[in-house]
Chains A and B, each alone.
Chain A
């Protein structure tokens, strides 16, 4: 890239390259900052009074820090062939600009309404703030190069900043009510906003052209190097600050303490990070001071040596015979004097090429002023000597100059010694400061850790302890409840068994005598009496069936046998034999596939098959029942199926039919108590399995049950 400077001379511009890791990092930070902004907008919108101020302030700082951090990552990603330093007060101003822009943004989006005027004004302010941050940040750069901007690209970057701000405000305003911490719309808008910020930034970077120049421009008194430590620090703080925004948004609604503690924890982490980074920067800065002080002492000591060399060369010039030899010595004297003069200027005004890069204290200035006459006198005398020594004339009186030098030298040496001593004295200050800073830093980090221990760890531990004891109590209560439940359940089963057993006795009387009545007196009384007796006999009979079924239901648990290997084929055959009469009556065909030996109560297995096959026979339509019993194995269980071609069941009843007393038909259609399938389910559950049905009304049903493989 070649640029034409104002003098019309072609000067090669400095070409920078990007560190893509840092670029990627800057983009990630931008996305996080955008996400944080969306979250913060919601907080600020719904907070009132002090809380609102707090959220606004904290939010603006966090968000501004995020944007600023993205920007600096981007600056640091820009690698130049010349050393770059940053003027930290200017850097702080750029951070303030970013925070102000964020504050404007949060205020705009948290208002109840956002009109076009407000949106435009807000985006102009916010975009202006971001652009200001960017260019203030660029102005903080200190390097041996001339900085010039392409007006077109600068304008474009400002326009981009404003447009992006407008989009960001719009998105944020619309998603501020989204309570979910992770929704795709929110994530998408965060990504859009997060990608847009770097677009503006890198346009701004492209607007800058650097031309190399000798010497660094600008005030170097507050310039610092940003080391890799600093980069890591800025990144870390950003992640912690933005991470804290996410964490405070995490919903521990049931555990407000946990949320509060997490917030405190991250705040203390953020403080520690800030301390560590500030500390590292300060220590680095003080280290620079010490180094540069040491360099000054070196130069001052060298000045003493130079002045001695000048005296020696001056005497040699005086005593050398005229001619080539004298010319050589005079040449030596000239070069020594040149270095001497240059170093003197460097000591007084600073020179980065010599490592003397700062101004002097008033004491030093006074010391230099006191030294100045001797220095000037010696310099003038030396110049005279050099001039005359270089002349080929044989007889020249050089005594005056040499005398002047000899006269002023002791005073110059004393003065320079005093200056060196002053440098020495001044250097001890930053050195001590550095040590004190390190100590203070260590102590404050320890202090923060201590505070963290008190405000986070202690309540957390207390909370955990309380939680554990509560858990313990809950567990005990639960255990008590479950024992009680078990007991009352067993009692209930016992009760059901005893009750139905004892009910049988009086019922047998009722049934027997109504039947006897029917047997002896049917047709001998009037027709009404016959009808009444009929109802009584029917009721008693049904009640007997009901009680018998209830009894067998309660027997599943109370009277069950232990589970042993049982041949399900035998159980199925037994059930078939028990149902022989109904099978013959209905003209059904019952086919049975290969059935396994399972771990079961054989009697109950028989009852299970009997109930299922019995249902298949009972709920038939006009077709002759075709019943198929089959079994297959899966990994954990034997899956049995009893399939029929009967009336079927609508899917809405698939669950209900297994409940006690649930019937789908009137007694006129199909008789039954509604207990059969409840018994089936109880038997299957006692075996640790489950039962379910598949059916198509009118086509038939398939009852499946699974019995775990032992």
Chain B
């Protein structure tokens, strides 16, 4: 699995943050392809391959911000985790909120992990690399049976 390109879906409305995450993954060791969706509606459309994302690939990992326009990250999380096909995809909540309630709610909606974005760049880079190390290297993820369809 290390040989193939890892698909990552980043749901993030702030382009600066999105780019920063992209830059962080660029410095990573794993070959990856990062797709950015700017709101919850788009993200779900992508995941369900609705137009204009009919050719979308099912991601290996979803990085989800909580504060999103149109449909919030919490709703997106709830929909993913109640969808038989999508719920196997690990979802990492990556947000600026350090609120206890947000954390609790995310886990009760079956988020796979919850990370507060560090303010400092160095730490942010370390966090992204940790995600990469853990989810894309260390962890064994389910085989994607339906990948490449469409």
Contact = CB atoms under 8 A, between A and B. Distances in A.
A642 B124 CA distance: 36
B121 A515 contact: yes
Contact of B96 (A505, A512, A513, A548): A505
A513 B16 contact: yes
Interface in B18-33: 20, 23
B119 A508 contact: yes
16 contacts: A504-B119, A505-B96, A508-B96, A508-B119, A509-B14, A509-B17, A511-B120, A511-B121, A512-B16, A513-B16, A513-B20, A515-B120, A515-B122, A516-B23, A516-B121, A519-B121
Contacts of A505: 14, 96
A249 interface: no
Contacts of A513: 16, 20
B141 to A, nearest CB: 29
Contacts of A548: 119
Contacts, number: 27
A226 B96 CA distance: 101
A509 B16 CA distance: 6
B119 A516 contact: no
Contacts of B14: 505, 509
A519 B120 CA distance: 13
Interface in A505-540: 505, 508-509, 511-513, 515-516, 519
A544 interface: yes
Interface string A364-387: 000000000000000000000000
Nearest to B119: A508
A218 to B, nearest CB: 109
Interface residues of B, number: 11
Contacts of B121: 511-512, 515-516, 519
Nearest to B96: A505
A185 to B, nearest CB: 71
Contacts of A519: 121
Q: Is the interface of A mostly helix, strand, loop or mixed?
A: helix
Of the candidates B96, B119, B120, B122, the one having the most CB atoms from chain A within 10 angstroms of its own CB is: B119
Of the candidates A509, A511, A512, A519, the one having the most CB atoms from chain B within 10 angstroms of its own CB is: A512
Interface string B80-111: 00000000000000001000000000000000
Interface residues of A, number: 12
Interface of A: 504-505, 508-509, 511-513, 515-516, 519, 544, 548
B20 A516 contact: yes
Contacts of A504: 96, 119
Nearest to B124: A512
Of the candidates A508, A511, A544, the one having the most CB atoms from chain B within 10 angstroms of its own CB is: A508
Nearest to A520: B23
Interface string B113-124: 000000111101
Nearest to A501: B96
Nearest to A505: B96
Given A513-B16, A515-B121, A516-B121, 7 more contacts: A504-B96, A509-B16, A512-B20, A515-B122, A519-B121, A544-B119, A548-B119
Nearest to A515: B121
Nearest to B17: A509
A504 B17 CA distance: 13
Given A505-B96, A516-B23, A511 B119 contact: yes
A513 B16 CA distance: 9
Nearest to A541: B120
Would you list the 7 A-B pairs with minimal beta carbon distance, nearest first?
A515-B121, A509-B16, A512-B121, A508-B119, A512-B20, A516-B121, A544-B119
Contacts of B124: 512
B97 to A, nearest CB: 11
A505 B117 CA distance: 11
A509 B96 CA distance: 12
A295 B122 CA distance: 127
A628 B96 CA distance: 38
Contacts of A544: 119
A238 B119 CA distance: 86
A230 to B, nearest CB: 91
B118 to A, nearest CB: 9
Contacts of B23: 516
Contacts of A511: 119-121
A511 B120 CA distance: 8
A509 B124 CA distance: 12
B65 to A, nearest CB: 12
Contacts of A512: 16, 20, 121, 124
A623 B43 CA distance: 59
